[in-house]
């Protein structure tokens, strides 16, 4: 359908990119349909106007259909005649949304625009030849270039420890990446660390409901966060630029490939911290590396070198640090040129039969951790770190 619309655009329109123009998406605002996310929706419509680069007819059809669904509900127009090709393409796109609720359509519209804003950031602000950078993230740098969305953890002075804001931003970036036009998505770290894991100061900000409420909220957030990795639909690749600790290691079992610098280490000191495994590692690690090797890591906190992690199957390939970035990105750019739909479908076949199990494991791990966070063992470990008495 997109190809059809594109060919029509080239034949019929003086300015071919206008075939399904942005104003179509903006003009028919039905104010009665706007409730909870009215502001987000309006902002998104404004953002569409600011896009400098045409997102292509396929995306414009998506925007159009989501807009119509969000404001008018299921397709209520008579089907255009067979020769009215453009209106037929629009009708098909809208009709394909079936009975999708208005609120979901509105949310999908907002998410789609947000991913477009990341990947098609105004070219006037971008030096030629450099990455397009997303704005609005405090703890990440998100860029989209050469078919690759790169999510870079960006708290180098804190060794890329994951604070609460970063958990939320990573989820947002993953959701946007899952819908943008990139073929693959990469997670990496800025600075000398990939990530030092959970920010231990996350445990210090106690809400009025006390530590129990804190632990409960933490478990809810963690479950949602890990769920985003389980459900991520495109090839997801970790570029492990340096040492990785805790949750940044356990999540690797949910990635599709893991490339590591020979400077990287892999450390899950859960027992030392009075905690227990998360990121589905209690299930993925024994499968990847055998139950005994997983026990050495997850129970005894054995730190692996990149070479050891590769030998045990957690890491796909190790590169010398001096050539790491060059070699890995050359390879990733080649991967990103492969047909994206084929890659997505192949990932689905490889991963889908495990999804239900992974969600169940995630739920169980979060529930166990919720209890651990209230234990003396955990509280002492956190206090010791924060009072500078201990480091890994
Ligand atoms: C929603 C909740 C979900 C919870 C999910 C649970 C996950 C479990 C885990 O991830 S467990 C792993 C937790 N991580 C750690 O225990 C690591 C603690 N950090 C260290 O031991 C060390 O900092 C180090 C070994 C990673 C690095 O040591 P180094 O000497 O090289 O550097 P500094 O210690 O001086 O670190 C520089 C500054 O960064 C701060 N920092 C580093 N890591 C963390 C962290 N995980 N949490 C909070 N802060 C961290 C460190 O305090 C320094 O800050 P400063 O410059 O202000 O002093």
- Ligand 1 centroid–CA 277 distance in Å is 17
Alpha carbon nearest to ligand 1 atom 40, residue:
158
* Cβ contact 183:335 at 8 Å: yes
Please report the atom of ligand 1 found closest to the CA of residue 247: 10
| Alpha carbon distances (Å) from 208 to 37, 220, 275 | 28, 17, 24
Instruction: Say which residue, 122 or 143, is predicted with more confidence.
Output: 143
CA-248 nearest atom, ligand 1? 10
Cα(385) to ligand 1 centroid in Å equals 8
pLDDT number for residue 60: 80
The Cβ of residue 328 has, within 10 Å, a number of other Cβ atoms equal to: 21
pTM of the model: 0.72
* Domains of the chain (ranges, CATH numbers): 37-115 (1.20.80.10), 138-388 (3.90.226.10)
Helices (H), 13-100: 22-27, 38-50, 57-72, 85-95
Cβ–ligand 1 distance for 215 under 6 Å, the answer no
* Between 110 and 224, the higher pLDDT residue: 224
CA angle 173, 175, 180 (to 5 degrees): 85
Structure tokens at 160: 């890329």
Helix %, strand %, coil % for the chain, to 5?
55, 10, 35
Could you read off the pLDDT of 292-306 as tens digits, one per residue? 999 999 999 999 999
Predicted confidence (pLDDT) at residue 327 exceeds the cutoff of 90:
yes
Look at residue 233 and tell me whether its pLDDT is greater than 70.
yes
pLDDT in tens, 43-74: 888 777 777 666 766 678 788 888 998 999 99
For the segment 383-391, the average pLDDT, to the nearest whole number, is 80
| pLDDT mean across residues, the chain | 85
Q: Which helix (H) or strand (E) holds 334?
A: helix 324-335
Tell me, using a 6 A CB cutoff, whether residue 222 lines ligand 1: yes
Q: Is the CB of 159 under 6 A from ligand 1?
A: yes
Ligand 1 neighbourhood includes 218 CB (under 6 angstroms):
yes
Residue 119 scores a pLDDT above 60: no
The residue whose CA is least distant from atom 58 of ligand 1 is 158
ipTM of the complex: 0.99
């Amino acid at each position: 359908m997109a190809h059809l619309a594109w060919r029509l655009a080239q034949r019929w329109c003086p300015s071919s990119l206008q075939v399904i123009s942005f104003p179509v998406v903006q003009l028919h605002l039905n104010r009665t349909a706007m409730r909870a996310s009215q502001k987000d929706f309006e902002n998104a419509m404004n953002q569409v106007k600011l896009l400098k680069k045409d997102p292509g007819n396929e995306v414009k059809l998506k925007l159009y259909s989501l807009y119509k669904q969000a404001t008018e509900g299921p397709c209520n127009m008579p089907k255009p005649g067979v020769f009215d090709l453009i209106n037929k393409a629009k009708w098909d796109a809208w009709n394909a949304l079936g009975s999708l609720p208005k609120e979901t359509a509105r949310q999908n519209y907002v998410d789609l625009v947000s991913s477009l804003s990341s990947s098609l950031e105004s070219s006037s602000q971008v030096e030629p030849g450099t990455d397009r950078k997303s704005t609005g993230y405090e703890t990440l740098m998100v860029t989209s270039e050469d078919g690759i969305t790169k999510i870079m953890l960006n708290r180098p002075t804190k060794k890329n420890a994951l604070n609460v804001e970063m958990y939320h931003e990573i989820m947002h970036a993953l959701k946007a990446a899952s819908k943008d036009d990139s073929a693959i998505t990469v997670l990496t770290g800025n600075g000398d660390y990939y990530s030092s894991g959970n920010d231990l100061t996350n445990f210090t900000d106690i809400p009025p409901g006390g530590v129990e409420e804190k632990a409960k909220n933490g478990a809810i957030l963690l479950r949602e966060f890990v769920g985003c990795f389980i459900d991520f639909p495109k090839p997801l690749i970790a570029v492990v630029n340096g040492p990785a600790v805790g949750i940044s290691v356990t999540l690797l079992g949910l990635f599709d490939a893991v490339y590591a610098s020979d400077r990287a280490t892999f450390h899950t000191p859960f027992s030392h911290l009075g905690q227990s495994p998360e990121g589905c590692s209690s299930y993925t690690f024994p499968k990847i590396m055998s139950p005994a090797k997983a026990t050495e890591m997850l129970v005894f906190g054995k730190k692996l070198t990149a070479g050891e992690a590769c030998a045990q199957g957690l890491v796909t390939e190790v590169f010398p640090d001096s050539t790491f970035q060059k070699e890995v990105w050359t390879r990733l750019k080649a991967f990103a040129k492969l047909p994206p739909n084929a890659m997505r479908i192949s990932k689905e076949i490889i991963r889908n039969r495990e999804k239900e199990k992974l969600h169940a494991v995630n739920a169980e791990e979060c529930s166990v951790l919720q209890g651990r966070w209230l234990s003396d063992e955990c509280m002492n470990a956190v206090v010791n770190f924060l009072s500078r008495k201990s480091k890994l």
